[in-house]
A and B are shown apart, each in its own frame.
Chain A
Amino acid sequence: MKIEERLHDALHGYADVIEPEAGSWSKIAAHFDDEPAPRRPRARGRALVFAALALLTVVVIVAALVRDTDHHTEVATSPRRTTTDLPQRILAVTDRGEPVVLASKTGGRDFTYGATSIAEGTQIAVSPDERDAYLVTGNGNEGCAGHSILALQIGSGSGSRVVATNATDPAVSPDGRYLAYLHCSPDSGNRANHIVLRDLTTGTERVTSAPDGTFFINRVEFAPDAHRVIFNLFDDAQGRATLRELNVVDGEAPPGRDVGPAAGEAVWVGLRGNTGEYLAVKGSPPSVLSLRGPAPFTASPLFTVPAIPSQVVADQSGRHILAVVDHALYRWSVGDERATKIADNVIGAAWIPDARQAPPAPAAAAPLPNGVVVARNGALDVLGAADGAQHSSLGAFPNVSRIGASPDGRELIYASSGPSPACGGGPGPTVKRLATARLDAPDASQLVVGGSGSPAVSPDGEFVAYGIVCDGIEPGLTNLHSGANYRFDPFPASGSGAAEIVQTEPLAWAPDSKRLLYRLALKGDAAPHFYVATLVPVSHTEVIEIPVGSAVTAGAFMDNDVLAVAEKTNAGSTVRTFDLGNQGTNTLFALPRRITSLIADRSGRHFLALLDDGALYRWTTGDPAPTRLAEGVTAAAWIPWS
């Protein structure tokens, strides 16, 4: 790696984990003096004195690094935290009507699709799973009546017309389920007066119409909850526009709630990701503003552009914004002093999200693991993953309550709830020991001396996470290579500083072996709390609380950004996805009882679900229903061979 890259990584690795104390603004503002200080004449002598002082202090700075040892406790507090990295790709449309994929950093062209006559200045929607884009084709001069909506597969480039005519401004819901677009009646003078909601899973449509013949709609976007849409409603009779919000998914009646700034203050151009803020344009030269509600809105200028932009689009995090201005594409990110022009000859653009939301498509690259190891009837047995038939047994292993497997599946780490010593040898909590056992040799040994339980082995086999019970209850880690033990503060920064932990339970590692999902039980709070800690590398270390709801009983990672969570229902349990970025969710499968443990394989496509009655089920993405594998099971793990 080049020295510049190493330096960049090291500086960010050190500094990016620093989260300043909240409430600093009040401290600063308390020192503000209302009267500005009189301007002092610039003294040349002052500069000379300063230079002399600077010379005196040119010494080698060997400053000991006084690092705050609690960096891991000072991390993001936002429960809506999303991936804030710059998305890598942009879907743009050239002035020849060609869709192209551009690199976000440089504007360099990655891919060009065939010319499809995309209309200028029209909205582009990209599905959250990065697979499809919805673009408007047709003659812009004919307005809505001349437009139709085209679905373009980003990967293959194949396109299909999804709405034949009289349609414009497509928007995809953050959960990927709905397509909303504007539709114009033949008698509406090429202006849109209907919002159409298409269920992309069933193909059914629902139409919401503007109140009467004098109201027209311009631009529609989904709110982060995937149920409400935000749109501009023009009242021709009054000559004014209002920004409105309507729950189209649940069938709320139009015209919806007025949520916009007062007329004439700024032109709404879009939502600022899932921040709850609105993007608007105002002034000369035009400023792109962020409007924070509720009304009266507070406006913050973000950046200026040389002319009124035809499009302004934020990514999910709201931190990265694209603006199309006079056939040029500008990019701005939080922290930038100005927008950067990254491409010319562009008439439309949208971010291609990096984080996948939907469950992964069936792929031959993720075959079903061969085996499953289960603890049942006081023994560890190896079963076939397809049918649950017993292949072998490791013999007696009483009271095993949880199993983690090494990446090759040959070594197991398990927690036993058998007779255990108390912490420090005296009264108090008792220790759940972790132990190892090999599947290919009669070898078992104790792994961790100290309070521990609920082992979760990282997919790369480097760490085992568990719950510490001695000297404080919190998550712990052991490096399986070096034997070193660690513990970390499990809460987001200052979020639950006073909360007393009753129980901590690591649930699963992400496939990249960097993120850990765990559950905490807090004193005086009946609801379980779920968190994801990004532990490696330090430059991205953070803890976020996952707002999955108190009915969730188990969880696992489908990929690095998407969880599968089991939720207790009246009929038993439902397993659904939960996107860590946009919190979108899809149902995967259901089981008739409470799920106590959900175990994903490394591909995130195959799941074991253990029920509270000891029944073990297997489910693979695409299966219509789970398959029952075994009964009387107290713990289970995937192994790649049998």
Chain B
Amino acid sequence: MMMADMTAAGDGRSELARADRDVVLTDLHREHYPSLVRLACLLLDEQGAGEEVVQEAFVRVHQSWVRVENPLTYLRATVMNLARSRMRRRLVARRRVEPAVRPAMSAEEHTLLLADQQEVLDAVRALPRRQRECLVLRYYVELSETEIASTLGISNGSVKSHSSRGLAALAQRLEERT
């Protein structure tokens, strides 16, 4: 029984047998599918779209297996890219049609979602995309700066700057509301 090392990097990945690809992807799906969907939902605000994006990401990782060095990082980056792309399409579509009426929260959600959390979420949604992505990866996925940089394909310095600006903007918006 050959085991694939999911955290291995470098040349070792390309030597993994194709059979290992399915094992690793199955395990990644089992362990990370829900958290990836939640990540996509934080960017897209819609569960159905989040699930589609993550499913598509898995298919892309499968197709690109030979050049995937760290499957989880690659998967996460693909989810971010696809979510971004989906958001662009959605923005184009919104220019043509009236936005749908926002469904009312169910009664129990009104009860349960703390008012403070709702305010913070609204403020996060109003942030520029890159700031929002950095904050979600940092405070939801709890990635390090280096990991965020690797996921978004930007420098560590950019991650720092987007994160600190995002936090500052968030604090300001919340203060204005109160």
Contact = CB atoms under 8 A, between A and B. Distances in A.
A556 B15 CA distance: 57
Contact of A7 (B35, B129, B170): B170
A488 interface: yes
Contacts of B46: 66, 68
29 contacts: A3-B170, A3-B174, A6-B120, A7-B120, A7-B135, A7-B167, A10-B118, A10-B124, A11-B139, A18-B34, A18-B50, A24-B29, A32-B62, A57-B129, A63-B44, A63-B125, A68-B46, A304-B7, A337-B72, A477-B111, A484-B107, A488-B108, A535-B111, A536-B111, A537-B113, A538-B109, A538-B117, A539-B117, A541-B112
A21 interface: yes
Given A11-B124, A32-B62, A21 B111 contact: no
A67 B105 contact: yes
Contact of B64 (A37, A68, A285): A37
Given A15-B41, A287-B3, A67 B27 contact: no
A71 B23 CA distance: 31
Contact of A337 (B22, B33, B73, B119): B73
Contacts of A61: 87, 91, 125-129, 132
B33 A20 contact: yes
B70 to A, nearest CB: 8
Given A7-B167, A15-B38, A37-B64, 16 more contacts: A21-B51, A24-B54, A24-B55, A25-B29, A25-B33, A28-B29, A53-B88, A57-B91, A59-B91, A61-B132, A64-B45, A70-B106, A72-B106, A266-B1, A538-B114, A539-B117
A278 B90 CA distance: 45
Contact of B114 (A8, A13, A37, A488): A13
B119 to A, nearest CB: 8
A301 B4 contact: yes
Interface of B: 1, 3-8, 18, 22-23, 26-27, 29-35, 37-39, 41-42, 44-48, 50-51, 54-55, 58-59, 62-67, 70, 72-73, 84, 87-88, 90-91, 99-100, 102-114, 116-122, 124-129, 132, 135-136, 139-140, 147, 167, 170-171, 174
Nearest to A20: B37
Given A7-B124, A20-B33, A36-B65, A289 B73 contact: no
Contact of A32 (B38, B39, B59, B116): B59
Nearest to A14: B121
Interface residues of A, number: 75
Contact of A31 (B26, B30, B59): B59
Contact of A538 (B1, B62, B73, B113): B113
**Which 8 pairs across A and B sit closest by C-beta, in order of nearness?**
A10-B120, A15-B38, A10-B117, A486-B107, A11-B140, A538-B112, A20-B37, A13-B117
A255 B40 CA distance: 50
A187 interface: no
A334 B31 contact: yes
A7 B125 contact: no
A337 B174 contact: no
A419 interface: no
Contacts of B30: 25, 300
Contact of A299 (B3, B8, B125, B171): B3
A498 interface: no
A484 B106 CA distance: 12
A27 interface: yes
A289 B27 CA distance: 11
Given A6-B116, A11-B139, A300 B27 contact: yes
A443 interface: no
